Amino acid sequence: METILEAAARDTFGKNEARRTRRAGRVPGVLYGEGKDATPISVEPRALLKILHSESGANTLISLKLPDGGDTRVLVKEFQLDPVTHQVLHADFYRVAMDRTLEVTVPITVKGEPKGVKQQGGILEFVRREIVVACLPSDIPEHIEVDVNELMLHQGIRVRDVATSVKWKPVTEGDAMLVHVIMPKAEEAPAPAEAAAATAVPAAAPAEPELIKKGKKEEEGEAKEAAPEKKKDEKKK
C-alpha cells in the first residue's frame, strides 16, 4: 500500500525548534537514508496518524512530497507518542530504494479455529505475533496469515510451516514457534496442611510470662513486709 504525505521544511534541528513546530500544530520529523544528509521536516499530524493507524501501519510505503517540489519513497522508521494524549511528538522517515530488498517486521494473523480447541478443550496461544521478512518496498505484506484449523492439542505452527511468497521470504529463524494449542492451566488447590493452617483459629498465647511477672511482684511484696519484722527482732536483741 502506498499513500501520499506532504512535508514542509524546518529551519534546523533541536528541542526548542521542535517545540515551536508542535506549537504551530505540526509534527517535527527527520528525513534520512540512501546516503543523503539528514533533513529536518514537519508533517501534518492527522495525515500521519491516519497512516500509522492503517492496517499496514508503519510498513506503509509513503510518497513524501518534499518542500522543493520533488518526492521520495519513505517508511516511518521510528515515531514517538505522547503517553497521555497519544499525539505524535516526532517521526523519523527513512528513504528507500524501490529496487533494493529491505527487512521489515510484519504482524501474524490466524485463520480459523483449531480442532484442539473445539474438540479437546485446549486454548490457542500466541508465542510470536510478528516476524521479520525480506522484500522489496512495493511488496511489503500488511500481515501474514496462518491457518490453524487442523491444529490438535500440543501441536503448533512454526515459521518454517508458513507458506512463503515469491514476493517475500522470512528472515526470522525457521524453528521459531508462532502459535500452539495448549491445555488450560488449572488453578492449583492449596495443600491440606496449608489449608488447615489457613483456617485454624490462632492458639492463645501462653500465660507463663504473665505468671512469672506476677510471681516476681508477690515475692517483692513479701520481702518488703518481712523487712520491718526483722528490724524489730534486732532491737529486742
Tell me the per-residue pLDDT of 225-234, one tens digit each, with 9 for 90 and over: 444 444 444 4
Q: What Å distances lie between residue 37 and 31, 40, 80, 94, CA to CA? A: 8, 10, 22, 11
Reply yes or no on whether the pLDDT at 92 is more than 50.
Answer: yes
Q: For position 188, what pLDDT does the model report? A: 52
Position 202 confidence tier, pLDDT thresholds 50, 70, 90: low
The pLDDT value recorded for residue 74 is: 97
Residue 35 pLDDT greater than 90, yes or no: no
The whole-number average pLDDT for the span 19-24 is 94
pLDDT class of 93 with cuts at 50, 70, 90: very high
- Can you read off the three cell numbers belonging to residue 17? 525548534
Q: What domains lie within the chain, and their CATH numbers?
A: 2-96 (2.40.240.10), 103-182 (2.170.120.20)
